[in-house]
């Protein structure tokens, strides 16, 4: 065999370099399986025996501790392939095929390049020339066996792991709040502070039904949450820090807190570039192992199921049949709970700016989004929300007293829970400060470097303790204000005047929606001649309401016929100002529910073509002062004086000076006669058969 191997080595091979590739799959093997490394490095002596000088034998060992399943991230193997492709390698040395590659794609690529560049391959069994069919066939079989060996090893390990998981005995990393005891059983963390923090998450979610609201409470009350270091320096230690939304959702979605043993919630899938793997969630029906009530938990399995339904409904989903029901700030009372009566899809909410407020509209856009069609139906939400509000008030009224008492008990429980958690933080801070003090007292006083560091650590912990005590005292005083007699009286008063509280503008829209969600499952709207409102309560009871269709804005702004008729009558004898006053006295209002003014009366008069008071007087024969003065040959001032003195009858048609005079039939003016004022004319009223001198 050795003679045949030597015959394969030619001068052209010896004229190029030899490359020794050394690899082990993990760092643990590197440190523990040292004999394998020695065997691989010993191949250098084999290359020397075959005729390569020591200085031309290159060792590539940069891939120690890296798996050979793929060529990615193996810089040493890629360097070896490039040297072979460039024709710099005369022979490639490896203890066995599995050291070079455990993937047929990588292995056969190396064989292809070696055959093209006339490069030999050496393992513990002999020397092979990939350019020869028999050698290449043998190397291919070895590569296939190497890949199959990796598959068998992996299947054997995973099989044992899964078999142990089916019995619930496979130990996996536990979430914060759960630990393994001395016997290997899962139990609650003995640290009561950690237990209180975890329980507060579930208790708060049970009340507010929103993960973001849970986070807001922790941030508002400046509460910290623990996390455990999983790897590296300080592995197993617990750190306390600020909460975030991802941690809240992880805790609420984790079935271990419900006492269930779960295996296979995620699986590893290769990334797009095949250089790494990512964890992808597995649907619950595809979990390989699910053992309920396997160990103590913080909630029951039924509550865990309800939490998953709530979290799924709270998501802002746009798929068919999905909805987002987390209460938001908008005024739309039925947000997330409206179904289209025509197509059955969820109706979305849109808002229109209406001067100082937002008007909600419930719109079905399923055809628009899915099929580029038209809007199914759009319904203004003000009237619908008002009808549902009245229905809700009738439904809630019999149970308002129990609700008020439950609210009071809930507030007291939440305050006590938060206070207990803050006391645990204070107790931990005092322990840390005392521990830092004992460390400082035990240090050698002459060792100032260590003593200074310990003293600074002690001072820092004392400052943290003082800040926590001040914050605890401030929060305690604030909580006392929520539980005093005045606050209790206000809570009890809710039962006596619930409608006023419901309509109070200080009541947040999200709170109204949250109360509505406790009673109503969904609402179906159908717009025809009237708007039909089909309400389905939680529990299956249904009822139907009907409201008028919202009128177009043109009709809403249109003045009522009775107002126009009354105004037409008033304009016979009244000016615009007088007509506005008479309309207000009669109880009429504009379309905006505002009193009439002379401007609004004038606008309505011009819009509906009503003749003004002046035009009506002119039609009856009334004339202006200028025309009468011209006819009588006197000044306008004199005519106005006659009107003020009552000698000429006049009618006002607007303002303080606008007036018209009755016809002057039967009136004669004799100039030059006038008593004390000789030049003032004399007025003779023939119609009254009297003589009046002015």
Give 81's contacts (C-beta < 8 A, 6+ positions apart): 71, 109, 110, 113
Nearest 5°: phi and psi at 529?
Answer: -65, -35
Q: What's the confidence (pLDDT) of residue 688?
A: 39
| Other residues' Cβ atoms within 10 Å of the Cβ of residue 448 | 11
| pLDDT tens per residue across span 95-109 | 887 788 888 888 888
Q: How confident is the model at residue 400 (pLDDT cuts 50, 70, 90)?
A: low
DSSP assignments along 29-59, one per residue: HHHH-HHHHHHHHTHHHHHHHHT--GGGEEE
Q: Give 679-690 pLDDT, tens digit per residue.
A: 455 554 534 333
Total length of the chain: 694
Q: Which one, of 5, 15, 12, lies nearest residue 50 by Cα? A: 5
Q: What is the pLDDT of residues 70-85, one digit of tens each?
A: 777 788 888 888 999 9
Print the SS3 string covering 484-529.
CHHHHHHHHHHHHCHHHHHHCCCCCHHHHHHHHHHHEEEEEEEECC
Instruction: Enumerate residues 6+ apart whose C-beta is below 8 A from 575.
Output: 598, 613, 652, 653, 654, 655
What integer is the mean pLDDT of 4-33?
83
Measured N-to-C along each axis, helices 75-85 and 104-116 cross at an angle, to the nearest 10 degrees, of 30
pLDDT of 398 higher than 90: no
Select which of 5, 25, 276, 510 is catalytic.
Answer: 25
CA–CA distance, 673 with 142 (Å, rounded to integer): 146
Sequence-ordered list of residues with C-beta below 8 angstroms from that of 245, at least 6 positions apart, any chain: 211, 212, 215
Q: Nearest to residue 303, comparing CAs of 260, 265, 263?
A: 260
Q: What is the pLDDT of residue 686?
A: 39
The Cα–Cα gap between 298 and 257 comes to 5
- Determine the 3-state secondary structure of 677 from DSSP: coil
Q: What is the mean pLDDT of the chain?
A: 80
**pLDDT of 199-217, one tens digit each?**
999 999 988 888 888 888 8
Compare 603 and 556 and report the one with higher pLDDT. 603
CA 662 to chain centre: 76
Residues of the chain above pLDDT 70, percent: 84
Consecutive H or E run containing 480: helix 448-482
What is the number of other CB atoms lying within 10 angstroms of the CB of residue 362?
25
> Per-residue pLDDT for 37 more than 80?
yes
For the range 76-80, what are the long-range contacts, defined as Cβ-Cβ under 8 Å and sequence gap of 24 or more?
76/21, 76/23, 77/21, 77/23, 77/101, 77/106, 80/19, 80/21, 80/110
Q: How many Cα atoms occupy the beta-carbon half-sphere of 465 within 13 Å?
A: 16
Q: Which pLDDT score is estimated for 250?
A: 92
- 438 or 422: which carries more pLDDT confidence? 438
CA angle in degrees (0–180, nearest 5) for 117-123-127: 55
At 485, the pLDDT band (50, 70, 90 cuts) reads low
CA within 13 Å, CB half, 669: 20
User: Cα angle vertex 600, ends 596, 602, to 5°?
Assistant: 125
136-140, 403-407, 512-516, 639-643 — most confident range: 136-140
Q: For residues 603 and 596, what is the distance between their CA atoms, to the nearest angstrom?
A: 11
Phi, psi of 633 (to 5 degrees): 75, 30
pLDDT tens profile 633-674:
777 787 777 777 776 777 777 655 677 777 766 566 655 544
* pLDDT in the model for residue 1: 40
285-340 pLDDT tens trace:
888 899 998 899 999 999 999 999 888 877 765 555 555 556 677 788 888 888 89
Q: 268 phi and psi, to 5 degrees?
A: -85, 130
Residue that wins the pLDDT comparison between 105 and 188: 188
CA distance 442 to 453: 13
Q: Look at residue 427 and tell me whether its pLDDT is greater than 90.
A: no
pLDDT in tens, 118-163: 999 998 888 889 988 888 888 888 888 888 887 888 888 888 888 8
Q: What's the confidence (pLDDT) of residue 66?
A: 82
Q: Check residue 301 and give its pLDDT.
A: 92
pLDDT at 492: 56
Percentages helix, strand, coil for the chain, rounded to the nearest 5?
Answer: 50, 15, 35
Read off the pLDDT of each residue in 160-172 and give the average, rounded to a whole number. Answer: 86
Would you state the pLDDT for residue 635? 77
Bridge-based pairing of strands 266-270 and 357-364 is unpaired
The angle at the Cα of 294, spanning 288 to 299, to the nearest 5 degrees, equals 105
pLDDT for 691 equals 36
What 3-state class would DSSP assign to 189?
coil
Evaluate whether 386 touches 550 at the Cβ level (below 8 Å): no
H-type alpha helices, 520-624 = 553-556, 561-570, 576-585, 598-607, 613-619
Residue 25 is among the residues annotated as catalytic for this protein: yes
Mean pLDDT for the stretch of residues 458-471: 80
């Amino acid at each position: 065999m050795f003679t045949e191997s030597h015959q394969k080595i030619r001068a052209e091979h010896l004229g190029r370099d030899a490359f020794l590739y050394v690899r082990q799959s993990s760092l643990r093997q590197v440190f523990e399986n040292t004999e394998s490394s020695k065997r691989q490095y010993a191949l250098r002596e084999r290359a020397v025996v075959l005729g390569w000088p020591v200085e031309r034998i290159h060792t590539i060992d940069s891939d120690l501790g890296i798996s050979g399943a793929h060529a990615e991230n193996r810089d040493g193997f890629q360097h070896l392939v490039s040297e072979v492709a460039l024709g710099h390698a005369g022979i490639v040395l490896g203890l066995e095929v599995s050291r070079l590659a455990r993937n047929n794609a990588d292995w056969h690529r190396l064989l292809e390049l070696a055959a093209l560049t006339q490069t030999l391959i050496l393992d513990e069994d002999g020397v092979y020339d990939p350019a020869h069919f028999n050698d290449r066939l043998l190397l291919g079989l070895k590569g296939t066996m190497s890949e199959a060996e990796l598959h068998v090893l992996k299947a054997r390990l995973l099989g044992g792991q899964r078999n142990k998981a089916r019995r619930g005995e496979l130990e996996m990393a536990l979430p914060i709040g759960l630990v393994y005891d001395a016997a290997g059983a899962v139990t609650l963390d003995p640290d009561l502070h950690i237990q209180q923090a975890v329980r507060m998450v579930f208790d708060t979610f049970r009340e507010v039904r929103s993960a973001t609201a849970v986070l807001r409470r922790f941030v508002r009350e400046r509460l910290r949450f623990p996390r455990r270091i999983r790897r590296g320096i300080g592995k197993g230690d617990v750190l306390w820090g600020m909460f975030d939304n991802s941690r809240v959702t992880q805790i609420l979605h984790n079935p271990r807190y419900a006492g269930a043993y779960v295996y296979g919630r995620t699986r590893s899938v290769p990334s797009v570039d095949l250089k790494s793997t990512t964890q992808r969630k597995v649907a619950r029906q595809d979990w390989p192992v699910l053992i309920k009530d396997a160990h103590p938990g913080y909630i029951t399995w039924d509550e865990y199921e309800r939490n998953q339904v709530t979290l799924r409904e709270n998501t802002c989903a746009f798929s068919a049949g999905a909805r987002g029901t987390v209460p938001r700030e908008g005024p739309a009372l039925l947000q997330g709970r409206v179904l289209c009566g025509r197509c059955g899809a969820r109706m979305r909410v849109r808002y229109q700016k209406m001067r100082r407020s937002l008007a909600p509209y419930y719109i079905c856009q399923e055809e628009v989004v899915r099929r580029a069609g038209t809007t199914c139906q759009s319904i203004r939400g003000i009237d619908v929300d008002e009808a549902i509000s009245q229905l809700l008030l009738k439904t809630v009224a019999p149970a308002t007293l129990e609700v008020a008492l439950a609210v009071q008990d809930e507030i007291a429980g939440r305050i006590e829970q938060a206070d207990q958690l803050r006391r645990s933080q204070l107790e931990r801070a005092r322990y840390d400060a005392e521990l830092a003090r004992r460390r400082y007292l035990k240090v050698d006083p002459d060792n100032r470097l260590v003593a200074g560091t310990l003293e600074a650590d002690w001072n820092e912990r004392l400052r943290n303790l003082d800040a926590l005590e001040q914050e605890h005292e401030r929060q305690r005083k604030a909580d006392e204000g929520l539980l005093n007699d005045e606050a209790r009286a206000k809570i009890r008063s809710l039962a006596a005047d619930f409608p006023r509280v419901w309509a109070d503008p200080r009541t947040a829209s999200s709170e109204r929606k949250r109360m509505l969600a406790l009673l109503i499952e969904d609402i179906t709207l159908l717009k025809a001649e009237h708007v039909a409102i089909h309400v389905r309560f939680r529990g299956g009871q249904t009822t139907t309401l009907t409201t008028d269709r919202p009128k177009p804005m043109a009709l809403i702004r249109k003045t009522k016929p009775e107002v126009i008729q009354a105004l037409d009558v008033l304009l016979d004898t009244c000016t615009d100002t007088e007509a506005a006053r008479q309309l207000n006295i009669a109880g009429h209002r504009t379309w905006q529910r505002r009193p009439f003014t002379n401007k609004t009366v004038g606008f309505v008069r011009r819009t509906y073509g009503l003749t003004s008071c002046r035009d009506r007087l002119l039609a009856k024969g009334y004339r202006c002062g200028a025309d009468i003065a011209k006819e009588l040959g006197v000044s306008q001032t004199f005519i106005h004086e006659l009107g003020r003195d009552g000698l000429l009858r006049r009618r006002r048609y607007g303002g303080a000076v606008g007036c018209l005079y009755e016809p002057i039939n039967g009136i004669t003016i004799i100039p030059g006669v006038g008593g004390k004022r000789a030049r003032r004319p004399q007025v003779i009223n023939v119609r009254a058969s009297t003589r009046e001198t002015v």
